[in-house]
Amino acid sequence: MSDIATRVKEIIVDKLGVDEAEVTAEASFTNDLGADSLDTVELIMEFEKEFNIGIPDDQAESISTV
């Protein structure tokens, strides 16, 4: 697993309090990992901070899986 994928997984586990085994590339943030809309916004913000990037709102809204 790449460093980026590992860090993404760590962020999701930390923010959502899910088991690491549940976080797969196909996992839905809402359906599989139990995230609500606020959780999703917080994840996007954490990804932006961690990787020093900006994700436009219209693109962020379309992110639904890991």
Alpha-carbon distance 17 to 23, whole Å? 11
Q: Are 64 and 30 in contact (CB under 8 A)?
A: yes
Catalytic residue ranges: 36
